[in-house]
A and B are shown apart, each in its own frame.
Chain A
């Protein structure tokens, strides 16, 4: 176990019925590091993220945040550790009954007890940090494009200035230019906050841009991890096939031949 790690996982396993989704994951993320976990659909990336966040309990294993074991936390301790986290969900997960500024200010108001006027100023500042003007704050999420919703979700994720930010498929569903804009914003926000980041994605352009280190998840196991610069020389046939997006290789898709 790496004592200096911000997040440390040992032998984390999770099954749903007979399906073993995670099979003994070991992972360390250093403070200030941006770790990207890549892998195909159904490889267990989202489950891994939910286990670290505490949204799902692993069947076995240890998950430590700042050296503190979090697996058996009660509600109070869980809320305390959650304070360190920010999360950008794949679909944004914005509260559609609230205005954009209320979404961004939700954490500061509801969880930190900030006065609404002050929280509104924070929300406007955070919207500015992701390139959105204060007028956007008055709209409802349904009035925004997909790219703008992602930006608002990013503003909400950084509103409480978290120590650790999680990104779940941050560029999925976006055009390549908007995807690059989001990647740039993620790099900037993480760097400005000095935060640790854990991202899951199957977008290699995104992984190369936002990650310091990359790990590949395949059939519930972390089969390779290393610096992002080494990914092209990983020496792992599964990683090679995935990063080049080839249909032929050791990874077989569960589809019938036409």
Chain B
């Protein structure tokens, strides 16, 4: 007697374990090569520009509106308990601990992760990766390592800027719409902000940067077939990076703040 459900579950489990092993091995290979010369500095700078600088508008826009909405929503809730003065604290803590890194991570996953998978995937199917090998250049080192390092370095900077812009959004709504005193709003923001709030957000950003670039590179590098394979790699890169961001966010939060 056969159990179709068990068969399907077994296949899914095996496929999941195989994919996990493959990604882990890919990540370890990247880490091993990252500490061995040659170092492609120009590639690294180009990727830092691509991931950090060119993501600024979309991340900044997300941050400012998130800060504004957060202030507005907090006001409608807190006003019922005459706790409006807590709004600056809620805005800054929510942004630095959670919304800044998670939203910036998701936006960068959509923008950069997809582009990375598409670029490397196209290079794979048009034999450009094989061409790198024939030119005595390790394609893994040339394509993957600079992107991973750029992701880890630039995302915390991006998140720090997003935190500041988000707080500014909350400040604008607080002062110009909710009639807060500007000095009191800023003092409340800074008084309740702790180093750990910002630091945990930046650690999250570095982890998200690693995960986004890892998924973009992995799915692009292992893509097969033609345009369809590249399209699938792009989708998989964004979906897997987004899931990993949300999952790892819980565990990092648990590590920093659980009592």
Same complex? yes
The digit string for A101-130, where 1 denotes a CB below 8 A from any CB of B, is 000001100110000000000000000000
Report yes or no: B133 in contact with A89, Cβ–Cβ below 8 A.
no
Q: Which of A53, A83, A94, A107 has the most CB of B within 10 A?
A: A107
Chain B interface, number of residues (Cβ within 8 angstroms): 17
The listed residue (A50, A93, A160) touching B131 by CB distance below 8 A is A93
Query: How far is A146 from B142 in the complex, measured between Cα atoms in Å?
Result: 27
Report yes or no: B130 in contact with A106, Cβ–Cβ below 8 A.
no
Report yes or no: B138 in contact with A82, Cβ–Cβ below 8 A.
no
What is the CB-to-nearest-CB distance from B226 to chain A, in angstroms, rounded to a whole number?
Answer: 11
Report yes or no: A82 in contact with B134, Cβ–Cβ below 8 A.
yes
Query: How far is A55 from B127 in the complex, measured between Cα atoms in Å?
Result: 11
A interface residues with partner B (beta carbon < 8 Å): 50, 53-55, 75, 79, 82-83, 85-87, 89-91, 93-97, 106-107, 110-111, 156, 160
- Can you pick out 22 interface pairs between chain A and chain B where the beta carbons lie within 8 Å of each other? A50-B130, A53-B130, A53-B133, A53-B134, A55-B130, A55-B134, A75-B138, A79-B136, A82-B133, A82-B134, A86-B134, A89-B127, A89-B130, A93-B130, A95-B123, A95-B128, A95-B131, A106-B135, A107-B135, A110-B40, A111-B137, A160-B135
What is the CB-to-nearest-CB distance from B126 to chain A, in angstroms, rounded to a whole number?
Answer: 6
Report yes or no: B135 in contact with A93, Cβ–Cβ below 8 A.
no
For residue B135, which residue of chain A has the nearest CB? A107
Report yes or no: B134 in contact with A85, Cβ–Cβ below 8 A.
yes
- Closest 3 A-B residue pairs measured CB to CB? A111-B136, A93-B131, A93-B127
Given contacts A82-B134, A91-B127, A93-B130, 8 further A-B pairs with CB under 8 A are: A75-B138, A85-B134, A86-B134, A93-B128, A93-B131, A110-B136, A110-B137, A110-B142
Report yes or no: A79 in contact with B131, Cβ–Cβ below 8 A.
no
Report yes or no: A107 in contact with B136, Cβ–Cβ below 8 A.
yes
Report yes or no: A91 in contact with B134, Cβ–Cβ below 8 A.
no
